[in-house]
Amino acid sequence: MVHNFNAGPSILPKEVFQAASEAILNYNNMGLSILEIGHRTDAFQAVMDEARSLVKELMQLNDQKEVLFLHGGASTQFFQVPMNLLAADRKAAYLDGGTWGVKAIKDAKLYGTVEVVASSKDKNYSYIPDGYTIPNDAAYFHYTTNNTVEGTQMHSIPETNVPLVADMSSDILSTQMDFNRFSLIYAGAQKNIGAAGVNLVIVDPSILGKADRALPTMMDYREHIKNGSMLNTPPVFAVYVCMLTLRWLKQQGGVAAIQQINEKKAQLLYDTIDQNSIYTAPVAKKDRSRMNAVFTIQDTEVEKEFLTAAKAEGFYGVKGHRSVGGFRISMYNALPYESVVTLTEFMKEFATKKG
Amino acid sequence: MVHNFNAGPSILPKEVFQAASEAILNYNNMGLSILEIGHRTDAFQAVMDEARSLVKELMQLNDQKEVLFLHGGASTQFFQVPMNLLAADRKAAYLDGGTWGVKAIKDAKLYGTVEVVASSKDKNYSYIPDGYTIPNDAAYFHYTTNNTVEGTQMHSIPETNVPLVADMSSDILSTQMDFNRFSLIYAGAQKNIGAAGVNLVIVDPSILGKADRALPTMMDYREHIKNGSMLNTPPVFAVYVCMLTLRWLKQQGGVAAIQQINEKKAQLLYDTIDQNSIYTAPVAKKDRSRMNAVFTIQDTEVEKEFLTAAKAEGFYGVKGHRSVGGFRISMYNALPYESVVTLTEFMKEFATKKG
């Protein structure tokens, strides 16, 4: 039995794998694979429509919001966002909260002025900064809701009148929040939405067209909106896997229901870390991520032993990000509570043995 | 029995569907789906390495060339190419040979001067222009090797000292040619390389870094090269399907072997069109595409009848592109010769009935 704690691409529901595998041999009894049907066919249009509409429903988005499935991953949004929203003579406010925020800030500087309102770099991004001021004249305020690498998460939405832009790649659809407060949300699919190879963008069109800059066709959100998220050939199969995963989430009871399970999973794991002194959680308690829990073992020899033993038990993807080391346990929507139970039992046993 | 003549996403080998379907349930007996394994794992690194190396082998590329699997489709290359290669004070030469060339030209103009060396717009792009001069001071010369929509194809490489850049989306790997003569080749995967959602880029690094312009990280080919085509999370499954398809092509005997079958398929179809006066091929004979054959039936009522009858026979994707109408028969590498035999028999019967 394998338990998949990988940070992304990551575990998806079993039902999704089953349906996707069948669709590759024969989609909807068409006698064709989902991989060989044209994106302009009714068959695929239905997939795209359902995926977009499930996002609206699950996130309770208002009618103003446009839902797009785009190429390029969240990393493409690091520059597509300022290219569309930040005029050369204006400034955008950014929170410097982790690895992904750093990359977003770097690209934004190519298009206008970037004001970093706060940073947690001083402590290796082990906490979420607070007490900062977002300037009222900023074109937008950008932040990362969950830091996959460092294991921190913002548990509330900042108060501001400035348009909010968020990279929600690693915690979208995991917790209830007022998604309508955001002018633009983006998220790589490969954690809570589906498989790698597609990117979800939710945008309020009223913020577009203000940066006076000629845009390449594929980078212009308005072109994608006008073409119903089919400006060019979309990543057909990746969108299909998103649709299946969103359907599954709806069947589980939606975001509110999955949030309860996510909280239970995180509680159990952090309790185990806190109750066994062999494990250290470097992240400030109030900012702990419910999606990616990181911890270390002080003795590097014991750390290696843990890794070997964990692998032998079938725990997959528990190693920390190559940039920070230690361990990272990712607990996305599709990870069953039982996987965390099994892991924490192993952790307790290991701690007792070494204690 | 379904025969899939779709223009893209299009038919792939049966063996590819079989292997891809199995990999979604259990990849390489890991007990995990290919959709849930991390891209930094040995398991996926092996896929990426093999896919890149098969491209080099099948196209007989020299060691100088870099092979990348990127996000965004060929449409993203329309601006990524000039963004990287065309300095603001320089000019690039473009051939205006069809729908895709038009889009490439539009985006290139955002970055520098574009000189259109020739155009076949005067006759709805039904031929490939010739007798033009490529200016020696151009940063590069860009053309589309095969026009998917209009059904034309360039059957030779233009003579020039200027770096060659080609959009080979719809005929790459279908015909032998000296691919090393190109400084940059790009191609959406969803015809001859694999499934939709990934883009092949082959670049000679010596042409990079000359346009003095700050590039967003994801748009800089050098960043992708430095990171072994894994600058961000790649479209894992799409790359895997490419690897399977490239393996299949190698098993068929490579490009030279598939070219023979492609020529046979195209010959049979065009002969059928030419020998039955009910069908009209609008493309100049010398420029006919071996990948996408287009034809019309003058009487629109009979055209509708043909479409209905073709659908009833299980011929999928024979309708022409929404912008030009008529019929389009796409005959990519994976389309069996037998499908063309069956279709042409139907076409002859239909012509006799209506003749």
Q: What is the pLDDT of residues B179-226, one digit of tens each?
A: 999 999 999 999 999 999 999 999 999 999 999 899 999 999 999 999
Shortest Cα distance, chain B CAs vs residue A4, angstroms:
8
Residue B38 has pLDDT above 80, yes or no: yes
What region does B13 belong to: left with phi over 0, alpha with psi -120 to 50, or beta? beta
In chain B, residues 77-96 whose CB comes closer than 8 Å to chain A: 78-79, 83
Q: Biggest alpha carbon distance in chain B? A: 64
Query: Has A167 been annotated as catalytic?
Result: yes
B142-189 tens-digit pLDDT: 999 999 999 999 999 999 999 999 999 999 999 999 999 999 999 999
Q: How many CB pairs under 8 A join A and B?
A: 195
Q: What is the mean pLDDT of residues A128-154?
A: 97
pLDDT at B161: 96
pLDDT at B315: 97
DSSP H or E segment with residue A183: strand A182-188
| A148 annotated as ligand-binding | yes
Q: Does B256 touch chain A (CB under 8 A)?
A: no
The residues pairing with B280 across neighbouring beta strands, listed in sequence order, are B296
A212-269 tens-digit pLDDT: 899 999 999 999 999 999 999 999 999 999 999 999 999 999 999 999 999 999 999 9
| Residues from chain B contacting residue A231 (CB–CB below 8 Å) | 75
**Closest listed residue to residue A162, CA positions, set A135, A124, A186:** A135
At residue B321 the predicted structure's pLDDT band, cuts being 50, 70 and 90, is: confident
User: From the list B107, B218, B316, which residue is nearest A216 (CB)?
Assistant: B107
| Residues from chain A contacting residue B32 (CB–CB below 8 Å) | 2, 4, 316
Q: Does A101 touch chain B (CB under 8 A)?
A: no
At residue A194 the predicted structure's pLDDT band, cuts being 50, 70 and 90, is: very high
pLDDT at B243: 98
Contact between residue A82 and residue A67 where contact means Cβ atoms under 8 Å apart: no
Q: Distance (Å, rounded) from C-alpha B311 to C-alpha A257?
A: 45
At residue B45 the predicted structure's pLDDT band, cuts being 50, 70 and 90, is: very high
The catalytically annotated residue of A96, A100, A171, A265 is A100
| B181 annotated as ligand-binding | no
Q: Does B107 touch chain A (CB under 8 A)?
A: yes
Torsion of CA B161, B163, B168, B172, to 10 degrees: 70
Q: Which domains does chain A have, with CATH numbers?
A: 3-8+254-354 (3.90.1150.10), 14-251 (3.40.640.10)
Shortest Cα distance, chain A CAs vs residue B151, angstroms:
17
More confident residue, B124 or A1: B124
At residue A330 the predicted structure's pLDDT band, cuts being 50, 70 and 90, is: very high
pLDDT at B325: 84
Residue A355 has pLDDT above 80, yes or no: no
Contact between residue B200 and residue B9 where contact means Cβ atoms under 8 Å apart: no
Q: Distance (Å, rounded) from C-alpha A178 to C-alpha B145?
A: 49
Q: Distance (Å, rounded) from C-alpha A332 to C-alpha B163?
A: 47
pLDDT at A178: 97
Share of chain A above pLDDT 90, in %: 97
Shortest Cα distance, chain A CAs vs residue B234, angstroms:
6
In chain A, residues 307-346 whose CB comes closer than 8 Å to chain B: 314, 316-317, 322
Complex confidence, ipTM: 0.97
Counted residue by residue, chain A has a size of 355
DSSP, res B314:
T
Q: Does B232 touch chain A (CB under 8 A)?
A: yes
pLDDT at A50: 98
| Residues from chain A contacting residue B110 (CB–CB below 8 Å) | 214, 216
Burial profile A75-106: b = 16 or more Cβ within 10 angstroms, e = fewer: bbbbbbbbbbbbbeebbbbbbbbbbbbbbbbe
Judging by beta carbons within 10 Å of its beta carbon (0-12, 13-18, 19+), is residue A184 exposed, middle or buried? buried
User: From the list B17, B83, B314, which residue is nearest A24 (CB)?
Assistant: B17
Encoded tokens for A218: 């594929």
Q: Is the dihedral of CA A23, A24, A30, A31 positive or negative?
A: negative
Whether omega for the bond prior to residue A13 falls within 30 degrees of 0, making it cis, is: no
Residue B309 has pLDDT above 80, yes or no: yes
pLDDT at A325: 84
CB atoms within 10 A of CB A309: 14
pLDDT at A321: 86
Query: Has A63 been annotated as catalytic?
Result: no
Q: Distance (Å, rounded) from C-alpha A244 to C-alpha A237?
A: 11
pLDDT at A1: 81
pLDDT at A133: 97
Is A216 close to B241, i.e. CB distance below 8 A? no
Judging by beta carbons within 10 Å of its beta carbon (0-12, 13-18, 19+), is residue B72 exposed, middle or buried? buried
Is B78 close to A218, i.e. CB distance below 8 A? yes
Is A198 close to B197, i.e. CB distance below 8 A? yes
Q: Distance (Å, rounded) from C-alpha A12 to C-alpha B25?
A: 11
User: From the list A20, A198, A316, which residue is nearest B24 (CB)?
Assistant: A20
Q: What is the mean pLDDT of residues B35-53?
A: 96
The catalytically annotated residue of A191, A204, A265, A287 is A191
Q: Could you tell me where the DSSP H helices lie in chain A?
A: 14-25, 42-58, 73-85, 99-108, 221-226, 236-251, 254-275, 300-312, 337-354
Give, in order, the Cα–Cα distances in Å from A341 to each of A174, A268, A346, A347, B271: 19, 8, 9, 10, 68
- Unique residue bearing structure tokens 């996926």: B44
pLDDT at B30: 94
B251-265 tens-digit pLDDT: 999 999 999 999 999
- Unique residue bearing structure tokens 């499935």: A69
Mean pLDDT of chain B: 97
Q: What is the mean pLDDT of residues A165-192?
A: 98
CB atoms within 10 A of CB A320: 21
At residue A300 the predicted structure's pLDDT band, cuts being 50, 70 and 90, is: very high
Shortest Cα distance, chain B CAs vs residue A353, angstroms:
29
Is B9 close to A233, i.e. CB distance below 8 A? yes
DSSP A102-123: HHHHHHHTTTSEEEEEEE-GGG
Share of chain A above pLDDT 70, in %: 100
Which among B2, B36, B109 is the top mutation candidate for probing chain A, defined by the most A β-carbons within 10 Å of its own β-carbon? B36
Encoded tokens for B273: 């069109």
Q: Is the dihedral of CA B265, B268, B269, B270 positive or negative?
A: positive
